[in-house]
């Protein structure tokens, strides 16, 4: 008996499509994949529902070409989660499924797990085994379930011939088994925890098996990772899976390695450095319950689990949890929603929690867990503000800072200098005619990169050769202004010529292993100066750094984005936390052209918590998020004004309905032109979430039918975190 199958497709349409199937109803389940004809194309879709009749007349329905999955594919929980995401973010359902699936599975790969050869002991050898053979046998003794050939190869190198010999003698046997991640063969002893850590662990474990949200607010270096690990240990022992989300930063290996060295568990990692094949395997291992711990970036929030027990969001304040194009979801919020429906606890961890999260703590929706002491008895560094003067200083470095660097290097310590701009200098000018190197596709200046002898636009990626003379008037003296990592690197090399200066930014770490090699060199502990962007600020544990210098921190104080101050407070607190993490005590020097700005006094005297409290009060007073709810319509188009016109029409549509929602704009984006496109936005503000979503739902279809909507790109951003 045939049936009607409702299918979500990977196209930007806010609807599903019905198809006829020859298969009987009972062969179908929501969540399965199917190949279907769509227009003149062939697509893969996800089954949303199976039904006896369609609202579309039967003669218009096409037949399903192929049923890809014969058994359930996406669990009901993920189906509901993705559908919730589609409704909440007002994004086409098919594209939401795209975001939730690993590429290979999206493209129709079989959902069978990769297998590999596992070896296990069979009987005592008769002949005396060779040296390598003996090593293998010794190790296998500890693993009665067997070890994968891959794991043995990682440990002993080429093992093929040894294994063949041992197998011929029936000492060991081979068996095909689902490929699990290579286990860590040498577990470290557990570290001793302080009382705050122990209490935090207990409080989370007390909520096992029910929804409960926690903020683990631990100062930098207070041992949050150890708390996560000990909580995980308990869940793993109970055969429950843990999903750990981490920010998208270059190096997550440090974090992952600590888990691997501490827990005898199957730990899979899903981040950008993992191949498509491994991603698929990790996803399948999680779905089957064979992965105990899943560590991944933003999109891993959609990973299915057979026995979910807990979710952890590390560095919950990090902006990379919010996707800034396509489906603009916030992984932290999706995780909270998921934890609620799964009825499991969720832990958000940070040294610098977002105001959103602190607001929830204030409303008593999250339990607060605090770690106020640095682990291992390390002390927080002493922080000082230096008045910097642009014109008088040596390439942006004040003499106070240089003298201090000298002092720390003499003690054979390491120094970290933070400057949040890569390249040599952000401005190139002609003295004669006032010409300036601007990007032709963006409202932005080109940045001088001296190493490559080029000009770069950091917004669209435009590359030009560095001009030798002014393209306007031909004058040969072009001057650059401002500082970037390259200039600081150059200045320091000139001053401290016998000390290695390591520049760590996107340019210097592009080559494979460049970053890992630099980290290795740093960890050897000799005196060195590290110059870097926020790549350096996030999460690294450099034990020999005793001085942190912040070269140019002020820009954010004058930003038009009301969130900039929050971001600056977080960044400074995080950078500050890089000093004195080992046994040596640390010092931090912050150069500012605005040392009198109340922000600094507030942050340095009272700390992050206090400044966050003040900022939150301000936001509540001014009815800014997290108090009240926002949504932004964004549009961009190749032609000037088109985006504004489109949003003007959207505003007119929205205003046709009487609603408590405030409509503001449209206005051009702060940087109106970017990558050759003109951008604009339209803001919606509301005191309650429901009216905001209702108003969007009422008009989104009419908006997508607007003529101008086809000419430019448009999107809607729920709970925006950036006003661009």
Partner DNA sequence: AGCACGCCGACT
Partner DNA sequence: GTCGGCGTGCTC
Quote the tokens at residue 209: 């098996």
The DSSP bridge pattern shows strands 414-418 and 528-532 to be: parallel
Quote the tokens at residue 467: 């001009």
Report in angstroms how near the CB of residue 704 gets to DNA at its nearest. Answer: 9
Q: Is residue 511 part of the contact set for DNA (CB under 7 A)? A: no
DSSP state of 557: G
Cis omega (within 30 of 0) on the bond before 271? Answer: no
Give the whole-angstrom CA distance, residue 291 versus residue 296. 13
Select the span of 14-22, 127-135, 141-149, 540-548 touching DNA (CB under 7 A): 14-22
Give the whole-angstrom CA distance, residue 518 versus residue 309. 38
| Residue number, 584 or 713, with CB nearest to DNA | 713
Select the span of 34-42, 479-487, 550-558, 691-699 touching DNA (CB under 7 A): 34-42
Select the span of 52-60, 318-326, 620-628, 672-680 touching DNA (CB under 7 A): 52-60
39, 52, 144, 377: which one contacts DNA (CB under 7 A)? Answer: 39
Give the whole-angstrom CA distance, residue 470 versus residue 477. 7
Residue 680: helix, strand or coil by DSSP?
Answer: strand
Select the span of 30-38, 196-204, 310-318, 554-562 touching DNA (CB under 7 A): 30-38
* Number of CB atoms found within 10 A of residue 109's CB: 15
Give the whole-angstrom CA distance, residue 146 versus residue 141. 9
Residues 350-379 vs DNA: string with x where CB under 7 A?
------------------------------
Give the whole-angstrom CA distance, residue 378 versus residue 462. 45
Quote the tokens at residue 97: 């499924």
Q: Is residue 17 part of the contact set for DNA (CB under 7 A)? A: yes
**Core vs surface per residue 301-315: b (16+ CB within 10 A) or e:** bbbbbeebbbbbbbb
Report in angstroms how near the CB of residue 130 gets to DNA at its nearest. Answer: 57
Report in angstroms how near the CB of residue 15 gets to DNA at its nearest. Answer: 6
Report in angstroms how near the CB of residue 303 gets to DNA at its nearest. Answer: 25
| Residue number, 23 or 77, with CB nearest to DNA | 23
Quote the tokens at residue 119: 């070896």
Report in angstroms how near the CB of residue 711 gets to DNA at its nearest. Answer: 8
List the 172-178 sheet strands across, edge first.
147-148, 115-121, 172-178
Q: What is the three-state SS of 589-657?
A: EEEECCCCCHHHHHHHHHHHHHHHHHHHHHHHHCCCCCCCEEEEEEEEECCCCHHHHHHHHHHHHHHCC
Give the whole-angstrom CA distance, residue 509 versus residue 649. 45
Q: Is 232 annotated as a binding residue?
A: no
Report in angstroms how near the CB of residue 60 gets to DNA at its nearest. Answer: 5
Work out whether the CA dihedral 397, 593, 546, 423 comes out positive or negative: negative
- C-alpha distances (whole Å) from 629 to each of 219, 569, 662, 717 are 29, 23, 10, 12
Give the whole-angstrom CA distance, residue 574 versus residue 534. 9
| Residue number, 65 or 77, with CB nearest to DNA | 65
Report in angstroms how near the CB of residue 712 gets to DNA at its nearest. Answer: 10
3, 18, 86, 96: which one contacts DNA (CB under 7 A)? Answer: 18
| Residue number, 51 or 583, with CB nearest to DNA | 51
Report in angstroms how near the CB of residue 39 gets to DNA at its nearest. Answer: 4
Q: Is 184 annotated as a binding residue?
A: no
DSSP state of 27: G
Select the span of 22-30, 60-68, 79-87, 501-509 touching DNA (CB under 7 A): 60-68
| Residue number, 300 or 647, with CB nearest to DNA | 647
| Residue number, 96 or 243, with CB nearest to DNA | 96
Report in angstroms how near the CB of residue 38 gets to DNA at its nearest. Answer: 4
Give the Cα-Cα-Cα angle 460, 461, 466 (nearest 5 degrees): 125
| Residue number, 15 or 170, with CB nearest to DNA | 15
Q: Length of the chain in residues, anyone? A: 724
- Burial class (CB within 10 angstroms; exposed 0-12, middle 13-18, buried 19+) of 127: exposed
Select the span of 16-24, 192-200, 338-346, 456-464 touching DNA (CB under 7 A): 16-24
24, 27, 56, 638: which one contacts DNA (CB under 7 A)? Answer: 56
Report in angstroms how near the CB of residue 646 gets to DNA at its nearest. Answer: 13
Select the span of 33-41, 267-275, 424-432, 441-449 touching DNA (CB under 7 A): 33-41
Q: Is 96 annotated as a binding residue?
A: no
| Residue number, 444 or 709, with CB nearest to DNA | 709
| Residue number, 65 or 609, with CB nearest to DNA | 65
Report in angstroms how near the CB of residue 28 gets to DNA at its nearest. Answer: 15
| Residue number, 15 or 657, with CB nearest to DNA | 15
2, 24, 51, 62: which one contacts DNA (CB under 7 A)? Answer: 62
Report in angstroms how near the CB of residue 63 gets to DNA at its nearest. Answer: 8
Q: Is 430 annotated as a binding residue?
A: yes
Q: What is the three-state SS of 101-150?
A: CCHHHHCCCCCCCCEEEEEEECCCCCCCCCHHHHHHHHHHHCCCCCEEHH
Spacing of C-alpha 593 from chain mean position:
32
Give the whole-angstrom CA distance, residue 8 versus residue 92. 9
| Residue number, 38 or 156, with CB nearest to DNA | 38
Total residues binding DNA (CB under 7 A): 22
Residues with Cβ within 8 Å of 177's Cβ and at least 6 positions away in sequence, in order, are: 115, 116, 117, 118, 146, 148
* Number of CB atoms found within 10 A of residue 124's CB: 7
> What spatial distance separates the first Cα and last Cα of the chain, rounded to whole Å?
54
Q: Is residue 15 part of the contact set for DNA (CB under 7 A)? A: yes
Report in angstroms how near the CB of residue 65 gets to DNA at its nearest. Answer: 11
Pick from 487, 484, 499: which is nearest to 405 by CA?
499
Quote the tokens at residue 585: 């005590």
13, 499, 620, 675: which one contacts DNA (CB under 7 A)? Answer: 13
14, 29, 35, 38: which one contacts DNA (CB under 7 A)? Answer: 38
* Number of CB atoms found within 10 A of residue 139's CB: 16
- Characterise 224 by phi-psi region: left (phi > 0), alpha (psi -120 to 50), beta (else): alpha
Restricted to residues 704-723, the positions that interact with DNA (CB under 7 A) are 707, 710, 713
14, 25, 54, 182: which one contacts DNA (CB under 7 A)? Answer: 54
Residues 678-707 vs DNA: string with x where CB under 7 A?
-----------------------------x
26, 40, 71, 511: which one contacts DNA (CB under 7 A)? Answer: 40
Q: Is residue 60 part of the contact set for DNA (CB under 7 A)? A: yes
| Residue position matching structure tokens 């011939």 | 161
Q: Is residue 11 part of the contact set for DNA (CB under 7 A)? A: yes
Residue 24: helix, strand or coil by DSSP?
Answer: coil
| Residue number, 365 or 710, with CB nearest to DNA | 710
Q: Is residue 59 part of the contact set for DNA (CB under 7 A)? A: no
| Residue number, 53 or 560, with CB nearest to DNA | 53
Binding residues are 430, 433, 439, 442, 457, 460, 470, 473
Binding site for DNA (CB under 7 A): 11-13, 15, 17-20, 36-41, 54, 56, 60-62, 707, 710, 713
Binding residues for Zn(2+) are 430, 433, 439, 442, 457, 460, 470, 473
């Amino acid at each position: 008996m045939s049936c009607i199958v409702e299918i979500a497709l990977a196209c930007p349409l806010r609807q599903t499509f019905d198809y006829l199937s020859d298969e009987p109803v009972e062969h179908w389940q929501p969540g399965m994949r199917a190949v279907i004809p769509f227009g003149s194309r062939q697509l893969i879709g996800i089954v949303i529902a199976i039904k006896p009749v369609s609202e579309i007349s039967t003669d218009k329905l096409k037949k399903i070409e192929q049923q890809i999955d014969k058994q359930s594919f996406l669990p009901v929980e993920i189906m509901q989660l993705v559908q919730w995401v589609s409704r909440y973010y007002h994004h086409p359902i098919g594209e939401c499924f795209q975001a939730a699936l690993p590429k290979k599975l999206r493209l129709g790969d079989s959902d069978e797990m990769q297998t590999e050869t596992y070896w296990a002991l069979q009987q005592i050898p008769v002949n005396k085994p060779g040296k390598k053979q003996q090593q293998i046998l010794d190790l296998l003794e500890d693993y009665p379930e067997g070890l994968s050939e891959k794991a043995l190869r990682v440990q002993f190198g080429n093992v093929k011939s040894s294994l063949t010999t041992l197998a011929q003698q029936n000492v060991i046997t081979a068996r095909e088994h689902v490929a699990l991640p290579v286990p860590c063969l040498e577990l470290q002893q557990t570290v001793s925890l302080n009382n705050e850590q122990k209490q935090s662990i207990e409080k989370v474990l007390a909520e096992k098996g029910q929804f409960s949200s926690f903020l683990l607010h631990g100062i930098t270096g207070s041992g949050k990772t150890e708390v996560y690990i000990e909580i995980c240990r308990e869940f793993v022992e109970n055969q429950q899976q843990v999903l750990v989300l981490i920010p998208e930063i270059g190096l997550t290996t440090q974090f992952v390695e600590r888990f691997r060295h501490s827990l005898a568990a199957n730990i899979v990692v899903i981040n950008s450095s993992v191949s498509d094949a491994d991603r698929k395997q990790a996803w399948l291992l999680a779905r089957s319950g064979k992965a105990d711990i899943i560590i991944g970036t933003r999109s891993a929030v959609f990973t299915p689990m057979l026995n979910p027990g807990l979710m952890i969001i590390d560095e919950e304040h990090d902006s990379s949890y919010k996707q800034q194009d396509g489906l603009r979801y916030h992984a932290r919020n999706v995780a909270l929603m998921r934890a609620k429906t799964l009825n499991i606890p969720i832990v958000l961890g940070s040294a610098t929690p977002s105001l959103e999260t602190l607001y929830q703590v204030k409303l008593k929706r999250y339990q607060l867990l605090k770690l106020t002491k640095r682990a291992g008895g390390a002390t927080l560094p002493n922080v000082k503000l230096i008045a910097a003067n642009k014109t008088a200083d040596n390439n942006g470095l004040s003499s106070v800072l240089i003298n201090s660097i000298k002092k720390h290097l003499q003690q054979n310590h390491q120094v970290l200098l933070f400057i949040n701009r890569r390249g040599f200098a952000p401005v190139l000018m002609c003295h004669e005619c006032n010409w300036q190197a601007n990007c032709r596709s963006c409202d932005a200046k080109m940045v001088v990169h001296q190493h490559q002898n080029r000009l770069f636009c950091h917004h669209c990626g435009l590359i030009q050769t560095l001009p030798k003379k002014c393209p306007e008037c031909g004058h040969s003296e072009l001057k650059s202004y401002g500082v970037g990592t390259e200039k600081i690197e150059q200045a320091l090399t000139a001053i401290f010529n016998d000390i290695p200066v390591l520049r760590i930014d996107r340019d210097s770490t592009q080559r494979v292993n460049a970053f890992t090699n630099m980290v290795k060199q740093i960890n050897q502990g000799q005196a060195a100066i590290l110059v870097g962007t926020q790549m350096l600020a996030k999460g690294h544990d450099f034990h020999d750094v005793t001085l942190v210098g912040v070269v140019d921190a002020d820009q954010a104080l004058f930003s038009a984005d009301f969130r900039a101050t929050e971001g600056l407070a977080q960044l400074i607190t995080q950078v500050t936390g890089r000093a004195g993490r080992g046994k040596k005590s640390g010092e931090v020097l912050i150069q500012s052209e605005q040392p009198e700005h109340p922000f600094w006094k507030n942050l340095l005297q009272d700390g992050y918590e206090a400044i966050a409290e003040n900022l939150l009060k301000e936001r509540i007073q001014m009815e800014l998020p997290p108090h009240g709810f926002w949504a932004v319509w964004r549009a961009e188009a190749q032609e000037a004004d088109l985006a504004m016109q489109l949003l003007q029409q959207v505003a007119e549509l929205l205003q046709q309905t009487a609603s408590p929602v405030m409509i503001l704009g449209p206005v051009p984006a702060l940087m109106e032109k970017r990558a050759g496109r003109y951008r604009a936005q339209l803001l919606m503000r509301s005191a309650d979430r429901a009216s905001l979503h209702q108003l969007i739902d009422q008009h989104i279809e009419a908006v997508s039918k607007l003529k101008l909507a086809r000419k430019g790109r448009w999107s809607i951003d729920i709970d925006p975190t950036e006003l661009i």
